[in-house]
Structure 1
Amino acid sequence: MHRTLPVLLLALVPALASAQATDAARALAQDAVIVDTHIDAPGMLMDGWKDLGEEAEGREFDYPKAHAGGLDVAFMSIYTSPRQDDEGNAWQAANEMIDAVEALAQRHPDKFALLRSPGDVDTLRKGDRVLLPLGMENGAPLVDDLANVQFFFDRGVRYITLAHSAPNRIADSSYAVERKWHGLSPFGRKVVAEMNRLGIMVDVSHISDESAAEAIKLSTVPVIASHSAFRHFTPDFERNISDELAKAIADKGGVVQVPFGTAFVNPESAADTQAHFRAINDFNKRNAELKAAGEPLQDRAAFEKDWEESHPARQTPIEAVLDQIDYGVKLIGIDHIGIGSDFDGVDGELPDGLRTTADFPNLVAGLQARGYKDEDIAKILGGNLLRTWAAIEAGAAH
């Protein structure tokens, strides 16, 4: 399944495979600026408020864990689903999540601060604060009103993932069977131009290859993939980025942010994830047919329960993430790789040694063990993303 022999062997002995943080790794994690471009904490806050300023049991991100791991900049994912888009409440849901992040920062001004510009990182992180910029996962809250790009910029959104798991008014999804636009929609082209004008990062994670290629080509500034692994390891999984698109991002000065979720970095888990979305598509079609015929609908909860029982989580070593980083560095260069964990967004399906934001020193230790220089590790941890964000911000000024 395109996994190297050493990783296959390590998968058999995960206890030995997980990188263990050394004093040097912990020191670098605290000294470097760590930027994680994708943490799904806001969605968790909407499911039931948990004070992330304190230890939050069962959560992968909270202040104590982030502080222990050296995390400085944690992009809060403002995620809305295709269902919310269809039901017409994506705009409201996005605003409620932004409200929740603002409330978190207001409750703990000594622990958190909202971040709107890369130029403010050094000042705002003093006092061991964790900084909270916003990334909108799915452009559905824009609805079909271009003025909403400015609206959400004013609310603090600094990247927009153009679509998620279904085509929307902007772009096609990598997961969906249907390809509505075969690139960007006419509205989507205007959205990209407006994002460039304002200084919002264009994020091509989740969207189809055709949509990503057009977005990269049209953007006048660098673009990012906020949480995309490399398709080299998962050749039939379009959700991960192709070599061609990764090179196009790098050629434009952007970054590919490697996620940690096993659905992206474990080939078997990626196949399960792709099959799940295909099965959901079939399930929805079947229910539409049943509804049209006036017959009882199939139960979605029962479908999901059966799926989870027949597709258990797969144990994955931290080396799977390290292999992704290695491959990306060799493909597009050390200046174009970063991290976008997807913590709190993958139902706990994470590699050994990378279970929470406290575990960043384990990643650092793994990179050090593979011979990376500390200055290059610092680029991967956050320097590359901050450079790209600054370039996009500067492009907006012009």
Structure 2
Amino acid sequence: MNSISSKRIKNHPFKMSPIVAGVILSLGVIVSGCQDPKAVTAKSVTAAESTTNTEQVVAVNYAALAQEIAKKYIITDGHIDVPYRLEDEFENVADHTEHGDFDFPRAVAGGLDAPFMSIYIPARLEKTGGSKALADKLITLVEDIVKAAPDKFALAHSTSDVKNNFAKGIISLPMGMENGSPIEGDLANLKHFYDRGIRYITLTHSKANHISDSSYDEARPAGGLTDFGKTLVAEMNNIGVMVDVSHISDDAFYDVMAVTKVPVIASHSSARHFTPGFERNMSDDMIKLLAKNGGVIQINFGSSFISQKAIEYGKLRKKAIKAFVTANNLEKNSVEIQVFKDEYKVNNPYPYSTLDEVIAHFDHVIKLVGIDYVGIGSDYDGVGDSLPTNLKDVASYPNLIEGFLKRGYSEQDIAKILSGNVMRVWQAAEVYAAQH
């Protein structure tokens, strides 16, 4: 077990009660084929009752082990949209918050240790200007969170920082930039944002920019990466900023793979195998090439990334809203439209994905390329009210771990998913940059 400071134990209370200890001991006896001495006198118990009791023992044991694993290992999450959420409506995330998916108490409950704070930049700023200014403002916001609660949060500019903060029982707040628009065509800005703590850049977002085409944008002016984008990827390698291929078009992904000298990440993407035609997720061929390069795909929890059913629901809802607006000649953002949206959801309940469906994406990647190339990229605070059952906020990571345990994943495999794989890629970026 990793060494855990007394402070971390205080922040992450886990006491092995006699009942839980007994349950774990009982499970060990059952698995080994031996009888529990205390159970020998229970000859009058029926076979059905015995089976039921055994199932209950197994269920309780998985939950207990999941909690222990969540506290034993570093848990990273590649993409949490806290900064932009707080820019829109500020709350003190050092305490319990009324809104959102992330705050300190819930992070502690879930065992979360290194959530990458997403410095999200809306695509519209590529044309209107202001990308760099907003990025700097959001980075300062993250720094202010740390300054206001240094006993709870710390910045993390390296893998060593994450490990050191973990040993102290403090949650790391590494940062990644979602949308490379703030680079504004100037490589000096790459150095500027590296110095401010940015450790990955998602090259674009929902629209093509001066770096890359977007998977969401029908316009593909560059046919992949722009010439500047190719230069930027090489310089990101040299300086130690991970390249994030989430959001970019398929052609841009293959351009990245042709240029990069180090492993890359998909900070919050899922498997296209389950959502055919949804380019925002990664195809099997892309996942194979990502793995061949040593990279990691971090699974997005949003239901529309997980199931085709949720995607189809979204299409039908959008069509219904458009028809309602047209029929009633309404202005954008009118009260009537919001009322219609609310009523639509009541009459047509959203098909939330399940925990099992999320784990199926992990399973698919692992069966395809192995355990070393997958991680967590929940997109908490970024996908609105579309999160799966049992994965509603950052307190939910033990539920995910329990699901892995029930599917037969070893503790060592789970540790790789929780942080080992991403830390390996991040460290590879650090080593390459040190040499160049």
CA distance in 2: counterparts of 1:181 and 1:48, whole angstroms: 36
Partner of 1:382: 419
Alignment of 1:155-174 (within 5 A): 155-174=196-215
Matched, 1:322 2:363: no
Matched, 1:368 2:405: yes
SS at 1:159's partner residue? Answer: strand
Which structure has the greater CA radius of gyration? 2
* Alignment gaps of 5+ in structure 2: 1-58, 324-328
Amino acid at match of 2:276: P
Per-residue CA distance 1:146-203 (angstroms, 9 max, x = gap): 2111111111000000011010000011011111111100110111011011110000
SS at 2:217's partner residue? Answer: coil
SS at 1:126's partner residue? Answer: helix
Matched, 1:197 2:238: yes
SS at 1:104's partner residue? Answer: helix
Amino acid at match of 1:188: G
Partner of 2:281: 240
Question: Aligned match of 1:122 in 139, 163, 179?
Answer: 163
Amino acid at match of 1:383: G
Per-residue CA distance 1:69-95 (angstroms, 9 max, x = gap): 111101000001111222101111111
Query: Number of paired residues?
Result: 369
SS at 2:395's partner residue? Answer: helix
What is the root-mean-square deviation of aligned Cα atoms in Å?
2.5
Matched, 1:99 2:140: yes
SS at 2:77's partner residue? Answer: strand
Per mean C-alpha deviation after superposition, the further-off stretch among 19-28 and 37-46 is: 19-28
Per-residue CA distance 1:275-303 (angstroms, 9 max, x = gap): 889999x99xxxxxxxxxxxx99525679
Deviation at 1:145, TM superposition (A): 1.3
Deviation at 1:308, TM superposition (A): 6.9
CA distance in 2: counterparts of 1:248 and 1:260, whole angstroms: 23
Partner of 1:299: 332
Partner of 1:133: 174
Matched, 1:354 2:391: yes
Q: Which has the higher contact order (CA 8 A, sep 6+)?
A: 1
Per-residue CA distance 1:334-378 (angstroms, 9 max, x = gap): 000100000011113111110111110000000000000011001
TM-score with structure 1 setting the length: 0.87
SS at 2:113's partner residue? Answer: strand
Question: Aligned match of 1:391 in 408, 428, 435?
Answer: 428
Question: Aligned match of 2:302 in 256, 261, 270?
Answer: 261
1:187/1:373 CA distance change after superposition, 3 Å = same
* Alignment gaps of 5+ in structure 1: 1-18, 284-295
Partner of 2:373: 336
TM-score with structure 2 setting the length: 0.80
Partner of 2:190: 149
Alignment of 1:13-24 (within 5 A): 22-24=63-65
